[in-house]
Amino acid sequence: MSQESKIKVLPPLVVRKIAAGEVVERPASVVKELLDNAVDSGATHITVEIKSGGKELIRVTDNGCGIAAHELTLAITPHATSKIVDDNDLFAIQSMGFRGEALASISAVARMKIVSRTAEDDEAHEIQVEAEEVKSSHATGAPPGTTIEVRDLFFNVPARRAFLRTPSTETGHINEQFTRTALAYPSVAFELINNGRTTHQLPASENRLERLSRFYGPELASAFMHTERNERDVYLDAYTAPPTHSRATPSWQYTFVNGRFIRDRFVQHAVREAYRGLMEPKRHGVAFIFIQVDPKTIDVNVHPTKIEIRWQDSRLIHSQVLSALRETFQQADLTPTFRPQPQTPVDPAQQQQVREQMAQLLKQTAPIVPGQSPPNGGGFGSPSSDRFGASGQMGSHQSSNPVEQWEALYRPNDSQQPTNEYGGSPQPGMPVSPLSPDQPHRAIQLHNMYLVSETEEGIIIIDQHALHERIMYEQLRDRIATGSLESQRLLLPETIQATEAQMALIEEHAQLLEKLGIEATRFGDDSIAVHSFPAILKTIEVPPFITDLLDRLANLPAGTTTEVVIHDLLDMMACKAAVKAGDTLTDVEIEALLEQRHLVEKSSSCPHGRPTTLRLSKADLNKQFKRT
């Protein structure tokens, strides 16, 4: 009796869904593939329209060569393409697309409509496809070019649709794909419409710097250093920003090869080496690298999304990029230039209200008498209150009244009291635990970096930044666990140049930012306005902090939990607010810092895991001095 075979050939639709999983990861993948086809068609104007982050609608329209009516059905057939003929073409690819997979994969997991007309045809033709099945095909009216409309992405793959993120997150990914294509082809006009609102309208330009300015603002564009080199069959066109514009993550480093955005470790290493010694080790330079090489010297058919390539001579590429950028940096004046932040226009009535509030504040505040402490035990310019006192002043969001802000920020700190062995405040009649043998008696500062203190058991050496960072982090974490961080309303909002993707991040993480004491909103087409800022960071400049925060949010791995996000952001806030290595501390500040060391858990290490304290016992000292 014959047995039924366990190995079976999968149905064509299942095969196409599996293939689509590699090509179509999310709505942004669809946008990328359709933009690639539009560029290959020779279009001079491309419009992208999306709704609900691309889950409801993606429509890409171009004025390119179009598709003939009798070829429309063939265009959605797997592995049907006009861009290569035989296997030899795979080793000299000059187009963005070449596999013939995109339209077939998209049609397998969405409802798709294609309307196209060539310049030679008198009328356009329309074809509608649903899950690879052609539902209709007929003549219609349309100008020369192609419009591809994709609706209800993953409607027949519910598991994949369930994994899509919020509309704002998906919109951010689409913006990134749109940005990459628009930067690579400045001679093409691009338009992006999101939920009926035009977010980008980019005219064609032969000036790549103008296109960069449209996306990243004139301030950054004006700071770019231009590098152009053509040696050993490698043409390099690079725009790099001075170290003062460095970012917290490498997400503002773009590499393009023959018009294709790629991620390449050789180019990334060359950029990192070029910036070495010019900025802090953990910072990353802003760089846009455009490379043109002979297509025969690279292999782009190594990754489903075509985001990776193989070089025939990777050392040549690395050396060309590194030497060109180093030469540019050596010739440039990298001295930071002070540029005051532009002030946001304020309504005259609001200005008058601010004047009246400030006048009332000054009337109610007692004058500071020389030789006496400021009122309420602290104030502006008080080192201990600015650096250490405010860290414990946690409460609800502050009022916009300056008087209440003053009182909330600089009233005596009642919350920083010695804690009992369980971490809570001591209750009446409860004995307070005696100081440990490691309790410092007195301390001195060395090299404006370390605090050396005598204890009953020997000496301890403390890293002032690491310890203060741990203290700040613990206080921030405790407050977040019970509510939101105290925020301070800015009298004039800080405006910051932002990309569309960054503005989408602000909207997506609005609740999280509010919990951190930050209120930021979209301000015009290319900037955001920060209205409230954490009181604990009152000495920190707002724009650099917000840009670093957005970089961190943009680079969160998929599936990151809210707890991990909050930990990362609190860690960043604590690091920014803590005293730095090199800061001179007064005796009062040293005493305040050492006292707070015993009010937090895990004071032996900073949030990054670095030790805060090195202990040397008297026995250790005696041994080193041969007294044993």
Which residue do the tokens 């977010």 mark?
199
Q: Which of residues 408 and 22 earns the better pLDDT score? A: 22
DSSP 112-134: EEEEEE-TT-SSEEEEEEETTEE
**482 lies in the same domain as 586:** yes
Looking at 47-61, 158-172, 399-413, which range is the least confident one? 399-413
286: pLDDT strictly greater than 50: yes
Mean pLDDT of the chain: 81
Interval 91-96 mean pLDDT: 73
**68 lies in the same domain as 174:** yes
Q: Which of residues 598 and 613 earns the better pLDDT score? A: 613
**160 lies in the same domain as 238:** no
Alpha-carbon distance of 513 to 526, in angstroms, equals 20
Q: 87: pLDDT confidence band, cut at 50, 70 and 90? A: low
Judge if pTM exceeds 0.85: no
Percent of the chain with pLDDT over 90: 38
Q: What is the CATH number of the domain that holds 460?
A: 3.30.1370.100
For residue 70, the SS3 value is helix
For residue 352, the SS3 value is helix
Q: Which of residues 33 and 5 earns the better pLDDT score? A: 33
Percent of the chain with pLDDT over 70: 77
Residue 420's pLDDT is 35
- The dihedral built from the CA positions of residue 511, 516, 517 and 521, taken in this order, carries a sign that is negative
536: pLDDT strictly greater than 50: yes
Residue 368's pLDDT is 45
**215 lies in the same domain as 191:** no
For residue 140, the SS3 value is strand
Please report whether residue 506 resides in a domain.
yes
Helix or strand (DSSP H, E) at 327:
helix 314-331
Q: What is the CATH number of the domain that holds 266?
A: 3.30.230.10
619: pLDDT strictly greater than 90: no
Q: 412: pLDDT confidence band, cut at 50, 70 and 90? A: very low
387: pLDDT strictly greater than 90: no
Token pair listed for 290? 């455009």
Q: What are the counts of helices (DSSP H) followed by strands (DSSP E) for the chain?
A: 20, 22
Instruction: Give the structural domain span for 59.
Output: 12-204
User: E strands, 164-314, where?
Assistant: 189-194, 197-202, 225-231, 234-240, 253-257, 260-262, 287-292, 298-299, 310-311
Alpha-carbon distance of 275 to 284, in angstroms, equals 8
Q: 56: pLDDT confidence band, cut at 50, 70 and 90? A: very high
CA 480 to chain centre: 22
Please report whether residue 512 resides in a domain.
yes
The backbone torsions φ and ψ at residue 608, rounded to the nearest 5 degrees and listed phi first, read -80, -10
Bridge partners (DSSP) listed for residue 487: 534
124: pLDDT strictly greater than 60: yes
Pair 100, 53: CB distance under 8 Å: no
Please report whether residue 385 resides in a domain.
no
Q: What is the CATH number of the domain that holds 193?
A: 3.30.565.10
Please report whether residue 6 resides in a domain.
no
Q: 90: pLDDT confidence band, cut at 50, 70 and 90? A: low
**74 lies in the same domain as 164:** yes
Please report whether residue 161 resides in a domain.
yes
Alpha-carbon distance of 485 to 393, in angstroms, equals 10
Interval 171-194 mean pLDDT: 95
Bridge partners (DSSP) listed for residue 57: 51, 151
Residue 33's pLDDT is 93
DSSP 507-556: HHTHHHHHHTT-EEEE-SSSEEEEEEEEGGGTTS-HHHHHHHHHHHHHTP
Q: Which of residues 433 and 526 earns the better pLDDT score? A: 526
**252 lies in the same domain as 284:** yes
Residue 345's pLDDT is 55
**350-377 pLDDT per residue, tens:** 566 656 665 665 555 555 444 444 444 3
Closest CA to 488 of 520, 541, 535: 535
Please report whether residue 62 resides in a domain.
yes
**24 lies in the same domain as 154:** yes
**90 lies in the same domain as 168:** yes
Domain stop point among 283, 307, 331: 331
CA 418 to chain centre: 39
**109 lies in the same domain as 175:** yes
**175 lies in the same domain as 195:** yes
Please report whether residue 429 resides in a domain.
no
Domain stop point among 302, 331, 360: 331
The backbone torsions φ and ψ at residue 91, rounded to the nearest 5 degrees and listed phi first, read -100, 10
Residue type, position 496, single letter: I
Residue 552's pLDDT is 86
Interval 560-581 mean pLDDT: 84
Please report whether residue 33 resides in a domain.
yes
**294 lies in the same domain as 327:** yes
260: pLDDT strictly greater than 70: yes
The backbone torsions φ and ψ at residue 212, rounded to the nearest 5 degrees and listed phi first, read -60, -40
User: What are the distances in angstroms from CA 266 to CA 235, 310, 568?
Assistant: 16, 10, 29
Closest CA to 252 of 304, 217, 298, 206: 217
Domain stop point among 304, 331, 358: 331
State how many domains the chain has: 3
Bridge partners (DSSP) listed for residue 460: 453, 615
Closest CA to 476 of 443, 427, 518: 518
Pair 178, 200: CB distance under 8 Å: yes
491: pLDDT strictly greater than 60: yes
Residue 407's pLDDT is 40
595: pLDDT strictly greater than 90: no
431: pLDDT strictly greater than 50: no
Closest CA to 614 of 455, 498, 487: 455
Most confident among 366-375, 384-393, 550-559 (mean pLDDT):
550-559
Residue 234's pLDDT is 96
**129 lies in the same domain as 235:** no
